Chain A
Amino acid sequence: MAKEITNNIRTLRFHHSEMTQQALAQAIKVSRQTIVAIEKNKYSPSLEVAFKIADVFGVTLNDVFQYQESDY
């Protein structure tokens, strides 16, 4: 079965004082639309951006992104 990259950024944002997409975007210097695309699994960020996201939430990369078998 094919694997895909998923993330739980939305959940992490919620648990970090309900951080907005805009706030996260500004923190890692990308556009809000990029954050939207990442959360919807429509865009896989670069390693640098992925590490920056993990850094903002104070967690490891694996806590943010998962490489798992898709449902399809």
Chain B
Amino acid sequence: MSFIHKSVWIQFFITLFIGYHYIDSFIYLYEANKLTNEGYTELLIFTAFQLVILNIAVHTIVAIFSNKDEIEQQRDERDDLIALKGSNAAYNLLSVWVMIIVVQLWLKSIPGAYYYFEALSAEFNVLNMLLVGFLLAEIIRFSTKLYHYHKGA
């Protein structure tokens, strides 16, 4: 397995872990009536921090145990094609997700409408939806890449 392929596995599992942790923490805040703009901001910052630190740490550890030639190997046309297929899949999901958010924002403009999470302001509700969409798109991107690495591009 090339280091590039290993990197995709790493990013896939990290994104799954962060997605799970984010949703779990969000549900905890909601059920404990601690879901406020401030509480959500803390969760957001922690999630971003986790994403960066975990990626750096795990990639470094895997690199230490990998062959030098493997790490220095450049991406070739097959890696590029698989990356493109992953990006296409993620883009399709993001496009749909944006439409959902647009429709939801329009619906919210109707008098009497309410946000799903009343404890959060309008901006933070949208932020939440955007972040969930981003995480889903990343999971789709990495899983599509892994599928093509395994089954063939």
A contact residues vs B (CB 8 Å cutoff): 29-34, 37, 40-43, 45-46, 49
Contact = CB atoms under 8 A, between A and B. Distances in A.
Interface in B63-109: 73, 76-79
A33 B74 CA distance: 12
Contacts of B151: 42
Nearest to B150: A42
A30 B77 CA distance: 8
A31 B79 CA distance: 9
Given A30-B77, A33-B1, A42-B152, 4 more contacts: A37-B153, A42-B153, A43-B152, A46-B77
Nearest to A40: B152
B2 A45 contact: no
Interface residues of B, number: 12
B77 A33 contact: no
Interface string B118-150: 000000000000000000000000000000000
A30 B4 CA distance: 13
B76 A43 contact: no
B5 interface: yes
A49 B77 contact: yes
Contacts of B4: 31
A43 B78 CA distance: 8
A32 to B, nearest CB: 8
